[in-house]
Every structure is written in C-alpha cells, then in structure tokens.
Structure 1
Amino acid sequence: MDKLTIGIFQEPHLDNKTGGGFSYYEALAQAIDQYEFHESLDIRFIQNNFPESGSNLKRVVRIDPYKNIKKKVRYRHFINHRIIKKTKHFFSPLERTYNRYETVFEEAVQKSIEEELARNKIDLVYYLHPRPHKLNYPYVCTHWDNGHKSMFAFPEVAMNNCYQDREDYFHSILGKAFGVFCESESGRRELLRFSSINEERVFVVPLFPGKVVTQSLPASAQESHLKKHGLGKNEFFFYPAQFWSHKNHYNLLLAFHKIHKSYPSVKLLFTGSDKGNKEYIKEVVANLGLERQVLMPGFVTNGEIYSFYKNALALVMPTFLGPSNMPLLEAEALGCPVICTD
C-alpha cells in the first residue's frame, strides 16, 4: 500500500513565553505524535540540525539545511554577518552587497531544505504554526485570524509593515496551500469573507485548550500559588493575555473601576508578557487609582495558571480579536465561569 508521508516542521523559535501560539503548537504537535494514524499515512516531524532544535517527539526526521550549500556561499554568508553587517551603514555599496549575499544564502538554504525533504520522501508539509515561507513544496497550513482586516487598525496589525506582511501571507501562503485549517466555523467564514480562496480548500480543525488543563494540583498547592500573588479564592477576576493593544485591557480597566466602587476587595489579575502596551496600561491603572487592586506578575507557570482558573471569580476575555481563543476553552474545562466579548 502506498503511503502519504507528511512532514511537520518543528518550531524551535517558539517558547512558553510566546503565549497562545506556543500553547497551540505544543498541544497539537504532541497530540499528532501520539496518535495512531491509518497505515496509509505516515507522519514525520522535521527537525533542523541546530542545537536549539531539541525535541521530545518520537517521529522525528533530522535534516541539515547547510550540508548541501556550496562552501563559497557559506563563506560569503559568514563574511556578511561578521563584517559587512557591522559596516554596511557607513558605505551604501556595502548595503547592496549585504542584501545580495543574504538573498543568495536564503535561496540556497531553501533549495537545500527542499532537497532534504525529497530525500526523506516527504510528500506534503503541514505547517502547524502560521508563518511565511518560500519553499517550493506542496503544503497545508494553519490559519488563526484575519485581524488586520476584521478589527481596528491597532499597531500590531497596521504599523511597522505588519499590515503588508499579513497581506503578503494571505496571498503568497494561504492562496497557494493545498488546504487551509481554520480554528472554528466562524474563523472559516471570516477567512472566506476577506479572501478569494476556494472554499473547498478551507477546513476546520477545532481549537482546543492548552496543556494547562492536564494539570492536577491539590488545594494546598493552589493556595500557595494564590498566596504568592496576594490573592484569595473567589476574590479576583483573571485575564491571561499578552499586552497587545487589541487585547483591550484598557476598557476592562474602566469596567473594573466601576466594580471596585461597590466591591473594593475584589482584584483583577493580568498575566502575560509585554508586547508594547504594558507601560501604557500601568499608567491607566495609576490614573484610576487601582494600583493595589490590579496585579501584573508577567509570565507565570502552567501550575499557577491552573490555580488561577480554579479559584477566580471568572475569566474575563474582552479581546477584539477572535472569534475563538484558547483561554475560553481552558476555563470551561477547569470549571471557571467566563465573561467574554461575542
């Protein structure tokens, strides 16, 4: 029986501080690795031969993108990054030389990866994480949102070339995919609304909660986590979200300010890393006089997040971007009430 071999690129650049993107990739990769597929389907995770590409996955094919690259190209790349990159700003011809060498090297790497995929008899590549690429190889890909078109022009989707990068992704990646996997029926309808992609190539792989729901902590451990952050059971609202503008911390603070007048002991907990908006949110907190009621511990562990879900008054999710988000499913799985935008 002929087999269809699917290669899945590992994403060593993602870590647990990436937020939902990492949680999604980690949970899906491990689920695929552990699942027993039909004998006509073979799954292989593609691991680049770099130190940071370590993995605990079982079905791994290791490739070395550099081994097929000519020594002359590798030498130029070395010179480019060790010398030309540091001096190109002083002499315009060096800028052009740097860009030319960089393009040649990137093309060589892409060709080498394609050769390695073919050598390992990979028929189709599956990108679990949305990302741009230039490989000349058949693929299916994941699609999460159309935020640059569906919501306000926040900096993270409209400035610093972000809008154009997203548009390029729409046309050059999604448009050429054999299949596009959306996280929900609403997400599928939204993609079809904002693009000209053939609807027969757009499918739904339902969103799922992250690995936090697999945690199981005794009450004593949960109490320890709450005490660490000055919290009590059923005395706080919880919002796990990175500090992007579209996450809408601002309006949540205005609403919480009104609640605080009637329930002064209730607190609001923000977890997540700063993506450029945290200092502004701190200013808003100070202007509203809520410094003691609003907590922002930054990145926290899965164990702590589990404890927050299990002991919060509710998860609050006022984000402008959706239509679905992992914390909603995590809260449901762990029995935490949910207040969210529709």
Structure 2
Amino acid sequence: MFQYAESLLEALREMQSNGHEVCVAYLSHNWEKKLLSYPFKNVQMKCGRWSLNLSNVLMALKIPGSFSRFLSHILSPVVWQLAKLDCDLWIFPAQDALSYQVKVPVVATVHDLMHRYESSFPEVSRLRRGNIRDHRFSQLTQWARTVLVDSEVGKMHVHESYGTELEKIQVLPYIAPGHIVNSQDLWNFDQKYPLPKKFIFYPAQFWAHKNHQRLISAAAALRSDYPDIHLVFTGMKNKAYSEVYAHAEKMGMLDHVTFQEYVPDQDLVGFYRRARAMMMPTFFGPTNIPPLEAFACGCPTAVSGIYGMPEQVGDAALLFDPNSESDIASTMKRLWSDDQLCHELSQRGLEKAQRWGLPAFAKKLQEILLKSPHSL
C-alpha cells in the first residue's frame, strides 16, 4: 500500500503542475522525510495514534458508518483537522476505516476482497478478520464518493459483494513503483548478494497464499533434467516461513533454494535484472505489483492465471494454474530452457511498462477525479 500511495503522490505532482492545489495529510513520522521532495502543502495530523486506535475500535465493533461518523466528529482529532483544511476531495490510498468515518468528500480505495474469494487462508479469516474486513469495505464503498480498484475484476468484486453502483467504481491499475523505475544497481550488489548465475526469482512474504511450496515442488520435479535449477526467495523469515523451509528440506531442495530474507526496495532491481525469470504462483489478486516491477526491469515473467492477472499482464507474461504443480513445472521448464521465449517476454514486458507508466497513470487519475461527484 505504501507503493500505491507513492504512485498517487507522483501522479498528483503532475496534477499540481496543471493548476490543482494538492494538500497531503499524514499521520506517521515515516512520511515526513519522503514528503520533502514534493511541492505540496504537507500537514502532519496531531494525535494520529489516538485517532487511528479509535477508528479501528469502531471498525472492530462494527459500528455502522453513520454512527461512526457521528462519534468520530466528536472524538477524533484527525477528523477535526481534515474538516478544518477544507479540501474539495480527499484520497485515501490505504483502504483504512478512517476513510468512511470522516465527514469530508472521499475517494476511497479497495485493493482486494480476498477475504471473500479466498477465505480458506488463515491470514484473512482467523480472529474474525473476514467479518471485520467485510464491515469495513461495506461501509467504505457506501460512504465514498468514488471507489478506486486495480482492475475490471476488482470492479466486479466490489459490485457483486456490496452492490456498489458500477459508475462509482473506477479502475486505476497499479504501476511499477518509482524505486524500481528510477533505481540503478548497487555498485557492490554481487558482493552483498552472492546469487547463483541462473535462478527463478520470487519476491514475496511467506504467507500461505503466496504458494511457495508448490513452486519448490515444481522445481524439484525438474531437478533431474536441470540439475542447476535454483529458486531465490526474498521475504522476512516469519509467517509461514518455517513450513516453506521444512518443505524445501523434505523435497531435498535446500541446495536449490536461496532464502534471502528482507531486501530493501532499492536493491530489488538487481534481483530482477539478474533473474532468469520471475514466477508468482500466488492465490491472491485481483492483480499484484511484482509483475509490473519485473516488466520495468526487463525480467521475463510468469504469474497465476486467476482473477485480474491475465488482464494485468496481457501477452507480456506466461500464465499457469497455481493449484497445479505440473503446470507450474511446465511453465518453469519453458522459462529455464527457452532463451528465445525469455527474450520475447523481456521485450514485451518493457514495452508494456512503457505504455502503462506514470504519465498514463496520472492522466487516468485526473480523469477519475474530475468526474467524481464532488469534482475538482
């Protein structure tokens, strides 16, 4: 969500140069340094932690939006400050509960509704998370003037889940984040990250829905024909990491898998540029940002052929069934063995990144905002 917020800031920079005044309200000190590079009026919200805690309590108790707005207007310092700034429209990029609890015109965001479509995964279902998320999104979509989604599939998910009018839901696909598009390799990258000469890259946290284990099983199936097959994973060693590691050990693949742990955003470019390909067997969508990062770096790509991912990648990536180890293995074999295919995918990805980048994203955002019910 930070990456999406960053893309919105860059798009709004374009809009401000076209005569619109932009104000950024932020709660975390982490944004302070980042915002210095933008020509916006920046206002840090006072008592932000209290306001966020109040917002989350109202959401967890499933207080209806109308009463939440009433209580927030009385109790939340952030709500008071946003109202006092008197802006025509506020964009909330992080799909948080505060977006339906403020009494100001709002453009809200729904990144995904996987708690409804992939509820078997504990990361979206345990501890009543599914019910709480459902309440949040039902209220968010009801009270927002406009709802941003990532794809046509995301638009239909919101419509069929909450009955939101189709005209109210606007598709604004993700773009590759600036730290990928504008980054260069570290001068000492190869010393800092001693990687194999050839590898399949998968940058993802170790959530169960990321499906690392089937990727390992697919590589194991190819090992006899391709003894140099190798996977590189980046992600903090938490969540379902122990299960993934145990599976690699069980399959005899520990010498064929690199667990790189956390990699700073600015270092990811080096992984994409050195990888034979990026494969993403996730069960979640509708779309994801890593394929866009791979495209921008010219890295051949293959992704799960579900939800909005075929719409996102077009002919610039291969598609496979994330439930099928044999289909994943077949796709991996093509990428590992076919130089011409990888070259073609690299070129298509670069071309797609050129067509849908910041200028197109900014233009689309401006069109959406100008036709919002509370237009600028």
Bin of the TM-score, shorter chain as denominator length: 0.7 to 0.9
Q: What is the identity, as a one-letter code, of the residue corresponding to 1:339?
A: A
Aligned to 2:128: 161
Aligned to 1:320, the other structure's residue is in SS state coil
Q: Return 264-273 or 53-62, whichever deviates more.
A: 53-62
Point out the more displaced range, 122-131 or 277-286. 122-131
Structure 1 residues 188 and 108 mapped into 2: Cα distance closer, same or farther (>3 Å)?
A: closer
Look up the SS of the partner of 1:203 in the other structure.
strand
Q: Deviations over 1:181-218 (max 9, x none)?
A: 11122221232232211111000112101221221238
Q: 1:44 is matched with which residue? A: 23
The correspondence of residues 103-118 of structure 1 with structure 2, limited to 5 A, is 107=72, 110-118=75-83
- Asked if 1:128 corresponds to 2:93, the answer is yes
Distance between the aligned counterparts of 1:287 and 1:295, measured in 2?
15
The aligned amino acid for 2:244 is I
1:66-109 deviations in whole A, cap 9, x for unaligned?
A: 59xxxxx9xxx9xxxxxxxxxxxxxxxxxxxxxxxxx9xx8478
Shift of 1:332: 1.3
The structural deviation recorded for 1:110 is 4.9
Q: What residue in structure 2 maps to residue 225 of structure 1?
A: 189
Which residue does the alignment assign to 1:80? none
CA distance in 2, matches of 1:236, 1:282: 18
Match of 1:10 in 2: none
Hey, which of these two has a bigger chunk of helix by percent? 2
Percent of aligned pairs sharing the same letter: 26
**TM-score, normalised by the number of residues in structure 1:** 0.74
Aligned residue among 162, 177, 181 for 1:213: 181
Q: Is residue 270–residue 297 contact of structure 1 (8 Å, CA) maintained in 2?
A: yes
Q: Which moved more, 1:21-30 or 1:177-186?
A: 21-30
1:137 Cα deviation (Å)? 2.6
Q: Provide the rounded CA distance (Å) in 1 between the counterparts of 2:190 and 2:127.
A: 39
In 2, Cα distance between the equivalents of 1:139 and 1:171?
A: 15
Task: Give the match for residue 7 of structure 1.
Answer: none
Contact 1:243 1:278 in 2 (8 A): yes
Cα RMSD after superposing both structures: 2.7
| Secondary structure, counterpart of 1:280 in structure 2 | helix
Structure 2: tracts of 5 or more residues without a match: 54-67, 306-376
In structure 2, how many angstroms separate the alpha carbons of the residues matched to 1:289 and 1:264? 12
Rounded to whole Å, the distance in 2 between the matches of 1:209 and 1:138 is 28
The gaps in structure 1 that reach 5 residues or longer are 1-20, 68-72, 78-102
Q: Structure 1 counterpart of 2:43, which letter?
A: R
SS at match of 1:262: coil
Aligned to 1:30: 10
Query: Does the Cα contact within 8 Å between 2:234 and 2:263 map onto a contact in 1?
Result: yes
Check whether the contact 1:47–1:61 (CA below 8 A) recurs between aligned residues. Answer: yes
Q: How does 1:284-303 map to 2 (within 5 A)?
A: 284-303=247-266
CA 1:35 to 1:259, structure 2 compared with 1: closer, same or farther past 3 Å? farther
More divergent stretch after superposition (199-208 vs 181-190)? 181-190
Distance across 2 between alignment mates of 1:22 and 1:286: 34
Higher mean alpha-carbon deviation, 146-155 vs 176-185, is at 146-155
For 1:123 and 1:189, how far apart are their aligned partners in 2?
28
CA distance in 1, matches of 2:115, 2:224: 36
> 1:62 Cα shift?
2.0
Q: Where does residue 243 of structure 1 map in the other structure? A: 206
Instruction: Choose 1 or 2 for highest CA Rg.
Output: 1
SS in 2 for 1:243: coil
The aligned residue for residue 60 of structure 2 is none
CA contact (8 A) 2:275 2:299 kept: yes
Separation of aligned partners in 2, 1:307 and 1:109: 50
Counterpart of 1:332, as a letter, is F
Q: 2-side partners of 1:31 and 1:109: how far apart?
A: 34
- Provide the residue aligned with 1:58 in structure 2: 39
Identify which range, 177-186 or 134-143, moves more after superposition. Answer: 134-143
Q: Among residues 208, 233, 257, which one is paired with 1:270 in the alignment? A: 233
CA contact (8 A) 1:207 1:326 kept: yes
8 Å Cα contact 2:25/2:45 also seen in 1: no
- The TM-score with structure 2 as length reference comes to 0.68
Whether 2:316 is the aligned partner of 1:341: answer: no
The reply on whether 1:280 has 2:243 as its aligned counterpart is yes
Q: How many residues align?
A: 281
> Which residue pairs with 1:99 in the alignment?
none
Q: Measure the CA separation in 1 of the matches of 2:265 and 2:29.
A: 25
In the alignment, what sits opposite 1:137? 104
More displaced 10-residue stretch of structure 1: 322-331 or 27-36: 27-36
The CA distance in 2 between the partners of 1:64 and 1:340, in whole Å, is 40
Letter in 2 for 1:215: S
* Distance in 2 between residues matched to 1:210 and 1:37, nearest whole Å: 21
Alpha carbons 1:247, 1:320 under 8 Å: kept: yes
Whole-angstrom CA distance in 1 between matches of 2:210 and 2:129: 17
Deviations 1:296-321 (A, max 9, x none): 12111234311111111110010001
What is the match of residue 334 of structure 2?
Answer: none
> What is the DSSP-based 3-state SS (H/G/I as helix, E as strand, rest coil) of the residue aligned with 1:319?
coil
Match of 1:314 among 277, 280, 302: 277
